[in-house]
Structure 1
Amino acid sequence: MNTADSPRTVLTVRGLSKTFVGQKALDAVNLELRSGEVHALLGQNGCGKSTLIKCLAGFHHPDEGAEMNLDSAPVTLPFEPSQAAAMGLVFVHQDLGLIPNLSITENFEASRRYGAGLFSKIRWSRMRENTTAELALLGHPDLDPDTPVGRLPIAQQTIVAIARALSSAGEGAKVLVLDEPTAALPDSEAALLFKAVRRVVDRGVAVLYVTHKLEELAAFADRATILRDGRNVETVDIADTDRDRLVRLIVGRDVEAVPHAQGQRSTGEQLLDVRGITGKRLRDVSFNIGAGEIIGIAGMLGSGRSELARILFGAQEPVSGTISVKGKECRFRTPRDAVARKIAFIPENRRRDGGVLDMSVGQNLTMPSVGRFWRGFRLSKATERKWISQKIGEYDVRPASSGRLFRVLSGGNQQKVVIAKWLETNPDIVIFDEPVQGVDIGARAEIFDLIHRAAERGAAVVLISSEIEQMIALSHRILTLRHGRVVADESTTGLTAGKVTQSMYFDGERIKETSP
């Protein structure tokens, strides 16, 4: 962390408000960033973090009266996105904005038109050298600049995106904004990213870091500004602020801990039996799960976790192996087949796979179960409206508006809608793939409770998560995948995150050697 006695203030924002069609998303927000610090921006989904970032990037124009200073010089508001990098403001958004099929060098140069004029020659050799030099500044000179970005692990893709963003400002990068860069990263890979960001900070750049993972802050951030309902709550020094106080500042109340499972194998009816499943990545995967049991699936990105979920839900056919539900062998050619066997799936990407963006909250909620509202040959709109209103209240979807488009909800509320629409089908088997990815601390607690309640109602729950400690707390057993194979199937009683991480990286012999 920065230890300078009087660090220079790089960016100052005063009284920044933003109104959308009568709704105030930001209300007189203040922000101060110092050189050589990691400054966390915290708050629940919908608190205004994304709107603030878009104002800093020039995508949104703030209301009149806002003031912004960069290196003590006033910034004329509003400005356009094309001006942000020239002023030294660079951004890495959650989707990274990389083109997977292009090389690292091509991703660097595409926005700069490859540095060539209409009739001039593209100087590939020089571009590769420049790319390697930029990556070296973040501690990764070993990355081959000709490697297609899509072949890199997500952590390295994020590092490429950061290096590209910094290079877009030439020597003038003053502020780097990172929007949830670790949302899709296992904890083990996040450490690689933190080292790269620390190199940026050591160059005197101020880093504004958006995250919902409060456990990252103690070792990584210097200060934090908390927003709630579009307003400043407080700016705190991380070293002087414990996690419980941060949670209260973010949510406005205490949040209950993750419900703990019993850590014992289910003695209820066996609902799902998987035998010898092999897919594109998976190799001979077998396990079973009983009524009321939660089984966590651990593994690195690319270990086959999400492929397993797709196969169980009929979105991908296995190469070989069998799936039995309640003792009856089933072949799922489509998700419709899985739904018919009372299997529900909450996917990792809620916007792409979980909900229909341009349909309303109400339409998304009733999509899998609209048949319940038919009365004779007619759809009972009154019955449907009453049911939707009831479920919006039960699942605490905010704002409580059935007509609001799914796309405009915050991430946490989108996830509540996706979970609600499937749990209300009364499934026997529920598959959760990264259910709290990109979700704020308050909504996370509510989602954990929904997972726990699904098991209490007798469903068999398959939980895929990169957050190992929370998965251990929620689950009865942890199944660990490595290179597509099951390398461990263990009760969570006495199980530690360290042991699970070892299983993710090393085979059984190495674990045995390194265990105390």
Structure 2
Amino acid sequence: MPRPPAAGMETSTRWAFTRDCGRSADMTTADSPRTVLTVRGLSKTFVGQKALDGVNLELRSGEVHALLGQNGCGKSTLIKCLAGFHHPDEGAEMTLDGVPVTLPFEPAQAAAMGLVFVHQDLGLIPNLSITENFEASRRYGTGLFSRIPWSRMRENTTAELALLGHPDLDPDRPVGRLPIAQQTIVAIARALSSAGEGAKILVLDEPTAALPDSEAALLFKAVRRVVDRGVAVLYVTHKLEELSAFADRATILRDGRNVETVDIADTDRDSLVRLIVGREVEAVTRAHGPQSTGRELMDVRGISGKRLRDVSFKVGAGEIIGIAGMLGSGRSELARILFGAQEPVSGTISVQGKECRFRTPRDAVARKIALIPENRRRDGGVLDMSVGENLTMPSIGRFWHGVRLSKAAERQWISQQIRDYDVRPASSGRLFRVLSGGNQQKVVIAKWLETNPDIVIFDEPVQGVDIGARAEIFDLISSAAERGAAVLLISSEIEQMIALSHRILTLRHGRIVADESTTGLTAGKVTQSMYFDGERTKETTQ
């Protein structure tokens, strides 16, 4: 929906994300936006528990409509109802372009009605080309004289990408070799292509969760081209700083119910936070203790890997070191090497003065190292095991007495961790896979922090986590350092990382290009280091 930029906001509540994302100065059109979708009274119950309770939603043509709320508020359930994967309870009403829609419907019917979905995992096949990903779900003749029209398929792929502002992407390039932002653009183009001219609504589920600002801006420009064609975009995100540059309106859900629908231009960040959480959430402050006790816990020297090149640093007890870098800079590879999930090509790692060789994560755990991985669903927990089983996995030995496992002690300990870490719902028997992202992350953090590690590596700990859970996770990171652990914090959220850390190491093309105290350090300076070498950074900051 057209709107002027917000003005007059106080510095404390000003939106952080203000870069040009392809939004024109005046997006007003001659025709008023029409209502494309209305949902009234939509509820969904799972085994006696209401995930959605009378939710209402209205989407208009040519607008970006954000769907906001904490993990577990019902956003994913609502999207799955719109996609036909979940059938809502009786009593819901839905119209599309003013025409009543018969509920429930199946996924194929949703696609036929012009509802297009791009999920966070994108659903692309990395080893196939862009063209092959576009055509993978289409059928072609298999007769003796049938031929696959590769030339026409490439032309069609390029034409679809051109509509999103990317005609220069090579249609024969494997998708896995593209930056994440371009992969997302490919997924959007493919989804819109499958709907042809009938696309009415594009649903994006956390498309920028793993993207730094520069790549997110690239994606926003592409999505704005979709909006300019009159398509309504429903956009799920936890990154509130993006909204002023990208979204027109927002609907906030809490505990499966509507809280409010607001115009972004008229709503500051603090007001949104209150609507989402239902209370004030304090900003991250520099509340960490002294930089280090002086006791060195880890000494990394000359580590090289597939991407890393001669990485060296030391970290002491009670110290938090932030690790910044673009995707592909080697950040996560460093985490894997330090945790024994990947062997380095060269270099040494010493823990408390003793040189160690980690062949497996078991070796690292034995040296009291813990990793909270970037992908919690794939690497952090076992999806089809219960919350309780995931929590006790690295600590099960504490419940063995001789040859007997004390189930009572185990149950009591699990219940205590669920309370201490505020895991919701508070059910030890619930499968890990059905928890919201924020609660999955709490389980992963709890199971490792309760091993009392000396060194903790957090890799994107708040990625895809709601604002309330984020504040709790930041507190856990600070508390780990206060207890005397050495903390390595890998994050794309530079301002929060600066606020939490004592030092920032910046990786670029696998090398450390900056090692700076956070005293007086700005996000802009760190970002410059991520893009430019040390000499260029010095020039641009003088």
TM-score normalized by the length of structure 2: 0.93
Per the TM alignment, residue 266 of structure 1 is displaced from its structure 2 partner at its CA by 2.5
Q: Which residue of 2 aligns with 1:434?
A: 460
Whether the 8 Å CA contact 2:84–2:106 is kept in 1: the answer is yes
Provide the C-alpha distance between the structure 2 equivalents of 1:114 and 1:10, rounded to a whole number of angstroms.
34
Contact 1:389 1:402 in 2 (8 A): yes
Structure 2 contact 301–312 (Cα < 8 Å) conserved: yes
CA displacement at 1:82 relative to structure 2: 1.0
Q: Match of 1:222?
A: 248
For the Cα contact (< 8 Å) 2:40–2:56, is it kept in 1? yes
Deviation at 1:205, TM superposition (A): 0.7
Q: What 5-or-longer segments of structure 2 have no aligned partner?
A: 1-26
Distance 1:320 1:80 in 2: 53
Q: What whole-Å deviation, never above 9, does each CA across 1:291-348 have from its counterpart, x for those lacking one?
A: 1110011111111000100010011111111101111111111111111110001001
Q: Structure 1 residue 202: deviation in Å?
A: 0.9
CA distance in 1, matches of 2:480, 2:30: 51
Distance 1:284 1:2, change over 3 A: farther
Q: Select between 63-72 and 286-295 the one with higher mean Cα deviation.
A: 63-72
Inter-CA distance 264–393: structure 2 relative to 1 (3 Å threshold):
closer
Paired with 2:248 and 2:144, the residues of 1 have a C-alpha distance of 47
1:507 to 503, 521, 533: 533
Q: Distance in 1 between matches of 2:143 and 2:94?
A: 36
Q: Deviations over 1:192-230 (max 9, x none)?
A: 001101111111110000000000101110000001111
Please tell me whether the aligned partners of residues 90 and 173 of structure 1 are also in contact (alpha carbons under 8 angstroms): yes
Change (3 A) 1:115 1:84: farther
Per the TM alignment, residue 99 of structure 1 is displaced from its structure 2 partner at its CA by: 0.7
Deviation at 1:17, TM superposition (A): 1.0
Instruction: Please show how residues 411-422 of structure 1 align to structure 2 within 5 Å.
Output: 411-422=437-448
Aligned counterparts of 2:395 and 2:211: Cα–Cα separation in 1: 34
Q: Look up the SS of the partner of 1:118 in the other structure.
A: coil
Aligned equivalents of 2:184 and 2:140: distance in 1? 21
User: Does 1:57 find its partner at 2:79?
Assistant: no
After the TM superposition, which of the residue ranges 367-376 and 252-261 deviates more from structure 2? 252-261
Q: Secondary structure at the match of 1:487?
A: strand
How far apart are residue 265 of structure 1 and its match?
4.4
1:264 positional shift = 7.0
2:298 aligned counterpart, secondary structure: strand
Distance 1:2 1:454, change over 3 A: farther
Give, in angstroms, the shift of residue 513 of structure 1.
2.6
* Structure 2 counterpart SS, 1:415: helix
1:65: Cα distance to partner?
1.4
Task: Identify if the C-alpha distance between structure 1 residues 88 and 69 changes in structure 2 by more than 3 Å, giving closer, same or farther.
Answer: same
Q: Aligned Cα RMSD in Å?
A: 1.5
**Cα displacement (A) at 1:87:** 1.0
Cα drift, residue 114 of structure 1: 5.0
How far, CA to CA, are the matches of 1:509 and 1:301 in structure 2?
A: 22
Q: Deviations over 1:341-373 (max 9, x none)?
A: 100010011111111111111111111111111
Q: Is the 8 A contact 2:288 2:478 kept in 1?
A: no
Q: Which of 354, 374, 377 is the equivalent residue of 2:380? A: 354
Q: Given that residues 27 and 230 in structure 1 are in contact (C-alpha distance below 8 angstroms), is that contact kept between their aligned partners in structure 2?
A: yes
- Asked if 1 retains the 8 angstrom alpha-carbon contact of 2:288 and 2:482, the reply is no
1:22-61 correspondence runs (5 A): 22-61=48-87
Equivalent residue number for residue 404 of structure 1: 430
Shift of 1:262: 5.5
Measure how far apart 1:6 and its partner are.
2.8
1:219-273 per-residue CA deviation (whole Å, 9 max, x = no partner) reads 1100000011111110001111111111111111111221425697424211111
Q: CA deviation at 1:407?
A: 0.9
Q: Is the 8 A contact 1:2 1:36 kept in 2?
A: no
Q: Find the aligned partners of 1:394 and 1:422 in 2 and give their Cα distance.
A: 14
Equivalent of 1:199 in 212, 218, 225: 225
Q: Which moved more, 1:261-270 or 1:486-495?
A: 261-270
Quick one: distance in 1 between partners of 2:212 and 2:113?
Answer: 34
Query: Per-residue CA shift, 1:356-403, capped at 9, x if unaligned?
Result: 111111111111111111223211111111111111100000011111
SS at 1:114 equivalent:
coil
Q: Deviations over 1:86-130 (max 9, x none)?
A: 211100000001011111011111112258888532111111111
Q: Match of 1:130, SS? A: helix
Q: Secondary structure at the match of 2:105?
A: coil
C-alpha contact (below 8 Å) 1:263/1:475 kept by paired residues = no
Change (3 A) 1:116 1:168: farther
Greater shift, 79-88 or 162-171, is seen at 79-88
Q: SS in structure 2 opposite 1:204? A: coil
Structure 1's 276 and 191: CA in aligned 2 closer, same or farther, altered over 3 A? same
Once structures 1 and 2 are overlaid, which stretch shifts more, 500-509 or 30-39?
A: 500-509
CA deviation string 1:385-428 (max 9, x = no partner): 11111111000000111111111111100100000000001000
Q: Is this contact kept in 1: 2:36–2:59, CA < 8 A?
A: yes
Q: Quick check: 1:303–1:482 contact (8 Å CA) kept in 2? A: yes
Choose which of 38, 42, 46 in structure 2 pairs with 1:16.
Answer: 42
Correspondences of 1:52-451 after superposition (within 5 Å): 52-113=78-139, 120-261=146-287, 265-451=291-477
Residue 169 of structure 1 aligns to a residue whose secondary structure is helix
Q: Contact 1:26–1:51 at 8 Å: present in 2 too?
A: yes
* C-alpha distance in structure 1 between counterparts of 2:455 and 2:182, whole Å: 35
**Kindly tell me: are residues 488 and 92 of structure 1, through their superposed partners in 2, closer, same or farther at Cα, counting changes over 3 Å?**
same
Query: Contact conserved, 2:141 with 2:147, CA < 8 A, in 1?
Result: no
Cα distance in 1 for partners of 2:222, 2:275 equals: 29
Dislocated runs of 4+, deviation >4 Å = 1-5, 114-119, 261-265
Question: CA separation in 2, counterparts of 1:74 and 1:271?
Answer: 64
Distance 1:263 1:273 in 2: 21
Partner SS for 2:198:
coil
TM-score (norm 1): 0.98
- Check conservation: 2:289, 2:482, Cα contact below 8 A: no
Distance 1:2-1:25 versus aligned 2 partners, 3 A rule = farther
CA drift of 1:515 comes to 2.3
Matched position secondary structure for 1:113: coil
Quick check: 2:291–2:318 contact (8 Å CA) kept in 1? no
The number of equivalent residue pairs is: 516
Contact 2:298 2:316 in 1 (8 A): yes
Task: Structure 1 unaligned segments of length 5 or more: list them.
Answer: none
Q: Is the 8 A contact 1:297 1:481 kept in 2?
A: yes
In 2, Cα distance between equivalents of 1:129 and 1:168: 15
| Alignment CA distance shift 1:45-1:273 (3 Å) | same
- What displacement does 1:26 show? 0.9
